[in-house]
Every structure is written in C-alpha cells, then in structure tokens.
Amino acid sequence: MTEQALPVFNIERFALHDGPGIRTTVFLQGCQLRCRWCANPESWTVGPKLMYLDKKCTGCGRCVAACPQHAVSLDPETKTAVIDRTLCTNCGRCVTACLNKARKISGEKMSVQDIYDIVIRDKDYYLQTGGGITFSGGEALLYAQALVPLLEKLNADGIAVAFETCGHVPYSSFAAVLPYTDLFLFDIKTMDPHIMKQYTGGDLDLILQNLTALAKQDPEKVIVRMPVIPGVNDGQDNIAALCRMMNDLHLKRLDLLPYHTLGLTKYQQLGMEYPFERKTPLAKEAVIPLQEFARSQGLSVTIGG
Amino acid sequence: MVQFDVEGDQNVNVSKEIPCEKSELEQLELMEQYTETYKRFSSSSVIRREVECEKVLFPAVMRSIQDQDLFAGRMDFLPIGFGTVTSVGGVGHYCRFDKLRKLEQVLDEQYNGVYHQRVEDLYQFWLDHDVKTIYCRQVLTDTTIGRFIDCRYPLLATARLSGMMLDYPKLLDNGIAGLKAIVSRRKEQDPDHSEFYQGCLEMLDLVTACADDQRKKALALAEQKRSSDPIRAAQLEKMAAVLANIRTEKPQTFPEALQLLWLYAILAGVINYGRLDDFLGPYLAADLDAGRLTEQEAYDYVKSLWTMIENRRTTVNGRVIVGGKGRLHPKEADRFLHIALKVCKDCRYVEPQFTLRVDQDTSEQTWHEALDALGVGATYPTIYNDEVNIPAVAYGMRVSEDTAMRYVPFGCTEFVLWGQSTGTPNTLINLLKILNIYMNNGVDPMDGKYKLGPLKPTDLSKVRSFEEFYDGYKQLLDYYMDLSAQAQFVSYQVMNSQCAFLLNSILMDDCLQRGKALLDGGVRYLGGTCETYGNINASDSLMAVKHLVFDTHRYTLPQLEEAVLHNFEGYEEVRRDCLDCPKYGNDLDDADEMANSLYEFVATGIRDRGIRLGMQYYEIVISNNSLNTDWGLSTAASPDGRLKGMYMNPANNPQGGQALNGPTALLNSLSRFDARYHAGSVQNIKFSKPMFNENKQRIEDLFKVYFRKGGSHVMVTVVDRGAMEDAMIHPEKYPDLIVRVAGYSAVFVDLDRSVQEELLSRTMFDDEIA
C-alpha cells in the first residue's frame, strides 16, 4: 500500500451517526468552508492544534517552564495557565509536561497503513450490521487520490465505504472515489447562494454541480444531509427548494441534523471565539415539521444520522 | 494460634434482610433446643446428628404466608441453625456470631439481662462447633490466608457450599413418595449405607411435614379472609389444595410443580434454582393447553416466584436460568422463557439474577425481549453464550459436551453442572496485592507485614529483564496458588467431617447410587472455584513495568517502586507515565496480550493444582461483587497508576475510566481470553439509555459478533449517569435505581459510597458526536 500520510484528527469506533450499521469514522483535517456552526473547528486547517481545557489546570506551572516560545503564562488572578496563541507553535511540549490531561494535541499524520490497521479491527461488526468505514472531516474528499489505495484495500476486504462531504471540492475528487464508495452523505447547508456565502464562505454552485453530477452517476449512493440551523436554513422556502431539487435529481433520502453545540468546548480549548450566536442546541422535536413536509414531497427522511 | 474475628462480615451483603418472624425469646429457645440436640447426638454419626437437628428446625422456622404469595414457602434463619451458605443462615451447623450478639443485645434490653448468660453459653459452645470457625482455625494463617472477608490478606478462604443446583426433574418426576421409594430400594440393596439412606428418608418426611405446616397456615388464613376478601380466600384454598397434592405425590400441574420445587429448594438451603424453563415448562404448557391456567395466571405465578426469590435477599445469588442448548423440552421451555422475560421487564427486582443462555438458534423474538428488558433498566437478563461455554466447560471440567450442556452459572457467575457437580468458590485471591508484596521485598505496603511465605525476596535493582521480573512474580503466584488449592480442598474435608447435606445429596448424582453423602464421595464431580481479583490492575501494572523500565528505560525498577510506595505523592509525573501506558480494554495487542498471559498463567495454574489434588475441576472465576472495591481499599498503589485504597478493576473489565476506544474495542479485548480455562468470567458493558434504546438492533448485532469472536458472557447496564450522580445526593428519590455491580445487581442507594464511586468510574458508552 502506498505510504502517504494523511492528517487525521480523530478515529471514532462504534460510530452510529455516519451511515448504516456499526461504523468507524475517520476524521481528516482541512476544509474550505467555515460554517459558523461548525462542531469541529480543529479540523479547519491541516497541522497539529493545541487544545487546552483550563478547567483541568491546577496552576502547577510545569507547562510554563516547558514552553520554548514563552507562550504560556499563569494568569495571576485565576492561577491557571493561559496561552498566547500568537507565539504558540503547537509543538506539544506543554502537553508532555502537563500532569492533569488539561492539554492535548489534535491532529497527527497517519499513513494509510496505520489507518487501515485500526479500522480493520472492527471488520466483523461492519459485516454483521451492514456498516463500514466513513471518511469525514474537515473535508475528506480533499484527499481523494491519496485515499484510493486504502479504499481498494477495504473493498477487497468486503468493507463498505462512505464519505461525509460538504461537496466543496472538484468533481474529479468524487470521480476518484466513486468506484469504491457505497454511500455519500452529502451536506447541503442551504439552497440560497447568498446565505451559503455569508455563513460558510462556500460556493453553492460548485456544490450543486457536484451533487447533480453524482446523482446522474448513481442516485442510490447519495443521502442528502441538511444541518438545521435556526434562523439560517430552517425556513419553508429552503426546505421546499431542497425537496424540489432532490426530486429532480431522483434523490430519495434526506437526513435532517438538528443544530447542536457539542463543539462549544472545542472552541474554548482552541482559544477561539464561538462564531455562531446561538449557544443552545435545537430540540429534535423542532425539526419535525420540516421532516413532515419533506415526507409529503415523497422523500424518506430521518432526523439525526 | 491464628487470630480472626468470628463476628466479622461473612458475605457480600447489600440487600436489606427481612426481619425474623419469631420473637427474640422464641429464637433463643429454638436455638437452645437445636444446640441441645446437637450435643445429644454428638457421639452419633454426622448423618444422625444432622437429621435430628433439622427436625428441630422444621417446620418450626417456616414463616407465615404473605398477602401476595400464590404459593407457599418462606422461612426464617436464626443465628444458629443448619444451612449451606452464609447468604441465608450459615454453613452446615452454623452460628452467626455477629447476629447472635445482636440478638443478645435486644434480649438484654428487653429483659434486663435475664437471658444474657443463656445466649453467652450458646456463643461459647458454638465457638468450638461452628463449621466455618472449625475450618478457619485449621486453615487461616497470620499473614497469608485470611478469613472471608478480611481484606488485609492476599488470599481469603472459607467453608461454604455455594451454588448448589439440584436435580429438580428427579424431584418433580417422582414426588416425595417416589423419591422415598427409590431411597428405600437402595437401602435394601446396599445395607452398608443404611444410615445414609435412613437419614434421607427422614429428611424427605420433613419436606412433607413442612408442606403440611404450610397447608394448615394457608387454610387458617383462608378462613380469616373468607368474608373480608373472598378472592384471596379462594387463592389460599387453592394453595392448600396444591400443598395437599404434593405433600407426598408427584406434581401434576404447573402450580404443583412450582410449589414442590420451591419448598424443597428452601429446605435444602439452596439459593440458586437452575434451568426453570426446562424443568417447569412442560407443566406450564400442559396447563395452558388444557385451559387449566390462563396466560395471566401463569404470569402471576411467575411473578410470585420472582417475589419469593427477591424476598430471600441473598444479594449475589437467586439464579434462574432459561434458554440455551441441552434442554429436554425446548418448545415448552420457551413458553416459560417468554413469560419470565416479561416478568423480568416489569418487575425490575435485584433478584432473581435472571440468566439467559443463548446459542445460534436463539430466536429473534427472545433477543428482542431480552434487549427490551435491558433497555428499561432491568439489568437482566444477563446473557451467556453457549457456543463458547459448552466446549469450554467440557474442557475445563473434563466432561463430555453433552454433560457440559448442564452448565449453569450461579452466584457471581461461577459455573456448575446442575445435579452433578459442586463448584463453590471457597478461595479468593488478590493478584494485585501479591504483585505489591513481590515488588516490595515481600512486605505488603499496606500493613508492613511480611507475606512472602518461604520465598526469598527479590532485589529489584538486580532484575535484568522483564521476563526475569515476571518470573519472580509468577513464583509468588505459584506459592499462593498452592495455598489456595489446598484451602479449597480442605474446605470440603472439614465440611464433610461435620455435615452430610442430606437434602442436597438426595438430588445430586451419584449420592443415592453410591449411598454416600455429597462430600463423602457422593457427588459425581467434586469441583471448586477460586475467585481472582485485581487481574487487570496486575496485568496493566506488568505492562507499565515492561514499558517504562525495560522497553523505554524511562525509569529503573527501584525508581518506579519508590514512586508506587509513596502512593505517587511527589511522583506525579511517574504516575502520569504509568497511566499513559497501554491499558487492557482498548483493543491494544500488547496490553491485551499481557492480560491474557497473566490470565492463562493463573487459570491453568489453579486448574492443574486442583486436578493434582484429586478434584474433578478447580477453576478460576473472574467474578465480581463489591469485593473489587473493598479489597481495593486494603491494597496499596500499583504501577498501573492506581492509587492506594482505590477500587480495583471489576471482574474481567478494564480499570474504571480506562476503556477509551468504544464498545467494539472493549469487546474485542474481552473476547480474548480462552474460555476453556475459567469457570465463568464476568464481562460488563454499560450504555446510556438513549444510546441503547435508539440503537437496539445494532447493539444486538454487537453482542452477536462479540459472541462469535469468543465472548462467553455479557452483562448489560443501561442507566442514566445523571440518575446515579443525583442518587448519591438524593438517595431518597431513587429507591429502585438498579445497577449492575458486576456479578449481580443491586439497588444503587444501598451500596457503599466507595462502590458507588467505582460504578460511576466505569466507562459508559454514550452518544456524543465528534
């Protein structure tokens, strides 16, 4: 297998939200979008990220001494460590120094062999449940070519593959993985290009072109996913437009994902501001009207993954 | 002579006992009568003495019938009496000194000390005659073998006859009169053992006497209720009629079969009930098909059984087993099984420990009903995998696969062969404490006592390789395993020298055939078990030593030991490094292989020793009760990063908080041990309610794959963490929050705080999105 390193920030076993059955989800760093509600801010760019949870800090100061950049100091008031992110190089020495697991580095380079060795351990569970491997991120399709050897190997083992994608990549990326892939969990955040630009920075045209091209190839391989973000895309017009398009493309399956705030702590750990106003999750029940409408349009709709 | 506290805790007792029905004075008089009888027949045979003593107890200790009971059979245990286990009464001719003291205090208060001396006389007499005390005097040592439960010792030993699962089909097929006919025939054929047979006959008459006692009580109660509650009066009359039918004759109906089985079980002092689906199913099916019983009535009877079992409050027993291979009447048994699963889901009692055996043919309906019960928080059924366990038992116990199909788990998971083997866990060994002792020149860091026996201390600074280090530990384990096997074997000798356990003997192969009492050469397979604790802490500690000292050379052995001896205080960095070493339970080959290596060394070491001593089998069980926590309190810090006094890992599970890679990884680790070498190993897995209930099919498949990979067992807890945390603050709000402690379930608020904390520490698989 070709040894090409990939920037992995998490491998989640027994994943239940990213496709059918029991799965392992491999999260890769790097994404062109900046969705304001993003739950994985550590995935935006490639490279190690220092994550620091001040709640666990006892103020022992070992990290202060360990930092070669003098980026860590003790806050005289709270007696806990603070990081000057402009100086921090994410070298990880403070992580080694910390005795309280207040610090960790997210993101490491892994070879496809390393990834394979982990995901293959649950093969029997995938086969029993119709599960498999899901590549997510970030935007995993940024590594479409690099992943092909791994996909070939998984296919040879009879393991199903899914991609969770925002669709904001050249179509050639889809084309590269399509022969090996059973399912695309294709995020459509909104049907309004202006809102798309405003809230994610992305180009909706590119995404919809990719979805159209993919649907022409094999509509059965696509589940459209819409994160339901209050005040952004939960209006009637948006769901109506989405359903129309899906019907035009013969796409039958839609997942509605209620906005959640599980990413809040991660922003704190990264020393970043949470970019979205609303700090409370959306109840599952709030999404039911959208689900009912989409069902009335002939779609098969689930809430949650 | 070795000193031990005869009034100390005798068993893992969490549930609250139902108080004795008799007044303290009545109890005293009965115990005096028992003691007098015991003395009077002391020069007679063990059998004669036992029969005469039992005649004092029965039917005198039978309780009255409770309002909700649909069949009869409740009894009291006095501080002095006859039994098999400490959970109900005591072992053989027993005295529960702790309870006798309490009774003495109550009497002193009530009667101004008038009866003080009489109680004191009993106390003093039984100091020399209580079976368990006799055993303790013979076996316990000052530093190495402690009394069950004295957690200062690395090895605990006790005399008890736990986990008897009798041949109830023999009882039901023959009835009391039929059994008596068999015994009488044997008595004629085998006059050399006529004493034994005569004892059996008289014991069987006592069963009839107790049936008559209960019948009278039922009729008297019916008379009382006739005008106030005619429905209940009719139930009681039916109960009396059932008792009349089975007093000597064999049962014809489901209520009769249930009644006879129950009555016999409680008189025999047994607290695990066996494969009730196969035993009772044919009676149930016949009644349902003939219209003698409605589904609802059947449900009510089973529920009444659940209540009877719950009310015995044995904490760690009360096994009812359904499903699996080797049932003679699978179709009829399944009808009982489905009703029982429904009762289990509705009742959510701590007992019975409702046990489901599954195999490849187990229906989807059964799986779904089982997961439904677990999903509502019943903690039962606990699921055993026949595909793995039957061949494993065949190997481990050295019997055919056909015989191995008789395996039934009792207590905290120990297997026996119903009707054919004993398997009582009379020895318990703390692998982690032994490691601590080994690493500290033979001195237990907890109390500074030297516990190395005849071995020479190891100078850690001179150890050159991990293998050398591990070999030294194995030598000490060998020493303790020798002690353990011997202690188990002697427990049978001591019990046999004092008791015949006649009611048990009658329904255990081949006592009647051989004319011998159970432990006198009667039982077909004399087996035993040794409970091991701290398995994973010990193997993770070995892993840490290997990794930090010999692989990465980060510390020397003396440096590591120094940090451990200081409970890591001032050595926080060392502890962090210890904690960061690979840990069992995460599907990591090196840590899992270390655990397996230690497991195989201990499991085969115990087994080989038992066989050498002449036992059919003597196997380890990696069971659990709250002893992992209690023993942890008396166990020093360890190289796995565990602090002094902290709970040890539960059963065969990782240390609390160390399973970090999810349920598939955990189950992959758990399925690694070769089941052939143990006689039961508890595997816990805990889910939050939403995760479990929203993903039942996937979780069912998860278990099925785990079983295919070699998993022998799974115990599932579905619970809200919030509820447990809140219950620690507001116990009054959670009277029925049942949690899985490991080998058994308990009401959470009844548990000791340290046990509650240990439970909360265990990894719970919840549903968070990355």
**Shortest alpha-carbon distance between residue B577 and chain A (Å):** 9
| Structure tokens that stand for A219 in this block | 């509509």
Structure token digits, residue B257 = 């079969």
Q: Which residue has the higher pLDDT, B650 or B764?
A: B650
> CB B668 to CB A22 under 8 A?
no
Yes or no, beta carbons of A13 and B661 under 8 Å apart: yes
Is B705 within 8 Å of A124 when comparing Cβ atoms? yes
A265 touches chain B (CB under 8 A): no
Residue B289: asked if its preceding bond is cis (omega within 30°), the reply is no
Distances (CA, A) of B515 to B53, B520, B576, B639: 21, 10, 62, 54
Residue A199's pLDDT band, with cuts at 50, 70 and 90, is very high
Say if the Cβ atoms of B701 and A129 lie within 8 Å: yes
Mutate to test the interface with B, among A105, A124, A136, A255 (most CBs of B within 10 A): A124
What is the number of alpha carbons within 13 Å of residue B399 lying toward its C-beta?
22
Give the model's pLDDT for residue B770: 32
Please report the residues numbered 695 through 714 in chain B whose beta carbons come closer than 8 angstroms to any beta carbon of chain A: 695, 697-698, 701-702, 704-705, 708-709
Q: Is A40 on the interface with B (CB under 8 A)?
A: yes
Instruction: Establish if B664 touches chain A: CB-CB under 8 angstroms.
Output: yes
Q: Which residue of A has its CA nearest to B663?
A: A14
B767 Cβ under 8 Å from any chain A Cβ? yes
- What is the radius of gyration, based on Cα positions, of chain B? 26
Q: What is the pLDDT of residue B755?
A: 73
Residue numbers in B near A121 (CB within 8 A): 587, 664-665, 668
pLDDT at B5: 82
Rounded to an integer, the average pLDDT of B315-337 is 96
Helix and strand counts by DSSP (H, E) for chain B: 29, 18
Concatenating the DSSP letter of every residue in B271-331 gives: ---B-HHHHHHHHHHHHHHHTSS-HHHHHHHHHHHHHHHHHH--SS--EEEE-STT-S-HH
Which 8-state DSSP code applies to residue B173?
H
Residue of B nearest to A60 (CA): B572
d(CA B655, CA B178): 53
Q: What is the pLDDT of residues B59-70, one digit of tens each?
A: 999 999 999 899
Contact B664 A17 (CB under 8 A): no
Does B765 contact chain A (CB < 8 Å)? yes
- Name the DSSP letter for residue B126: H
Q: What is the pLDDT of residues B623-653, one digit of tens each?
A: 878 899 999 999 999 999 999 999 999 989 9
- Lowest mean pLDDT across A223-237, B576-590, B644-658, B665-679: B644-658
Among A17, A21, A121, whose Cβ lies nearest the Cβ of B668?
Answer: A121
Amino acid at B461: S
Q: How far apart are CA B739 and CA B722, in angstroms?
A: 13
- The verdict on B580 touching A (C-beta cutoff 8 Å) is no
A25–B701 C-beta distance less than 8 A = no
- pLDDT for residue B250 is more than 50: yes
- Residue B383 in 3-state DSSP? strand
The residue of chain B nearest to residue A9, with distances taken between CA atoms, is B770
Contact B518, B504 (CB under 8 A): yes
The pLDDT assigned to A236 comes to: 96
**Which residues in chain B are closer than 8 Å to A40, comparing Cβ atoms?**
770
DSSP A123-167: HHHHHHHT-EEEEEES-GGGGHHHHHHHHHHHHHTT-EEEEEE--
Per-residue pLDDT, B768: 45
Determine the residue among A10, A12, A13, A114 to mutate to test chain B binding: the one whose Cβ has the most chain B Cβ atoms within 10 Å: A13
pLDDT, tens only, A65-81: 999 999 999 999 999 99
Whether B513 has a pLDDT exceeding 90, the answer reads yes
A229 pLDDT above the threshold of 60? yes
d(CA B56, CA A241): 87
The total of other beta-carbon atoms located within 10 Å of residue B64's CB is 13
> How many whole angstroms separate alpha carbon B427 and alpha carbon B159?
9
B91 vs B126: CA distance, rounded Å: 13
Residue contact B701–A262, C-beta within 8 A: no
Q: Convert the pLDDT of each residue in B365-413 to its tens digit.
A: 999 999 999 999 898 999 999 999 999 999 999 999 999 999 999 998 9
Shortest Cα distance, chain A CAs vs residue B661, angstroms: 7
Q: Would you say B377 and B702 are in contact if contact means Cβ atoms under 8 Å apart?
A: no
Query: Tell me, what's the pLDDT at B12?
Result: 54
Peptide bond into B59 cis (omega under 30): yes
Both tokens assigned to A56: 């666990």
Both tokens assigned to A102: 């207040």
Chain A residues 128-167 within an 8 A CB cutoff of chain B = 128-129, 131
Question: DSSP alpha helices (H): ranges in B551-695?
Answer: 557-565, 572-580, 589-612, 627-633, 662-670, 689-694
In this prediction, residue A1 has a pLDDT band, given cuts at 50, 70 and 90, of very low
Instruction: Report the pLDDT value the prediction gives residue B694, as an integer from 0 to 100.
Output: 87
Residue B767 has pLDDT above 60, yes or no: no
- Average pLDDT of the segment spanning B712-721: 88
Q: Do B587 and A125 touch (CB under 8 A)?
A: no
Q: How confident is the model at residue B736 (pLDDT cuts 50, 70, 90)?
A: low
Distance (Å) from the alpha carbon of B690 to chain A's nearest alpha carbon: 12
- Kindly list the residues from chain A whose CB atom is less than 8 angstroms away from the CB atom of residue B767: 16
CB contact under 8 A, B770 and A99: no
Is the pLDDT at B207 greater than 80? The verdict is yes
Cβ contact B523:B462 at 8 Å: no
| Residues in contact with A173: Cβ distance below 8 Å, sequence separation at least 6, in sequence order | A141, A142, A144, A145
CA dihedral (B605, B606, B607, B608) positive or negative: positive
- What pLDDT is recorded for position B674? 96
Residue showing tokens 């979805």: A211
**pLDDT tens digits along B410-465:** 998 999 999 999 999 999 999 999 999 999 999 999 999 999 999 999 999 999 99
What's the rounded Cα separation, in Å, for the pair A67 and B45? 82
Phi, psi torsion values for B611, nearest 5 degrees: -65, -40
Lowest mean pLDDT of A110-119, B532-541, B710-719, name the range. Answer: B710-719
Across B60-86, average pLDDT: 95
**Separation between Cα atoms, residue B379 and residue B736, nearest integer Å:** 12
Q: Given pLDDT bands bounded at 50, 70 and 90, which one contains residue B13?
A: low
Q: Which of B661, B765, B769 sits opposite A260 (nearest CB)?
A: B769
Contacts of A21 in chain B (CB under 8 A): 698, 701
- CA–chain centroid gap for B107, Å, is 33
- As a dihedral over the C-alpha atoms of residue B686, residue B692, residue B693, residue B694, rounded to 10 degrees, the angle is 160
Q: Is A39 on the interface with B (CB under 8 A)?
A: yes
Mean pLDDT of B614-626: 92
Express each pLDDT in B514-536 by its tens digit: 999 999 999 999 999 999 999 99
Say yes or no for a CB contact (<8 Å) between B769 and A39: yes
How far, in Å, CA of B633 to CA of B627, rounded? 9
User: Is B768–A122 a contact, with Cβ atoms under 8 angstroms apart?
Assistant: no
> Residue A17 pLDDT > 80, yes or no?
yes
CA dihedral B73, B74, B77, B82 (to 10 degrees): 10
How close A248 gets to chain B, by Cα (Å)?
32
Mean pLDDT estimate for chain B: 94
For tokens 């889910």, what's the residue?
Answer: B687
pLDDT for the residue B394: 98
pLDDT score at B216: 98
CA distance B255 to B246: 10
Lookup: tokens for B609: 């020793």
The per-residue pLDDT for B709 is 97
Residue A43, pLDDT above cutoff 70: yes
Mean pLDDT across the stretch B229-254?
A: 98
Question: Residues B96-136: pLDDT tens digits?
Answer: 999 999 999 999 999 999 999 999 999 999 999 999 999 99
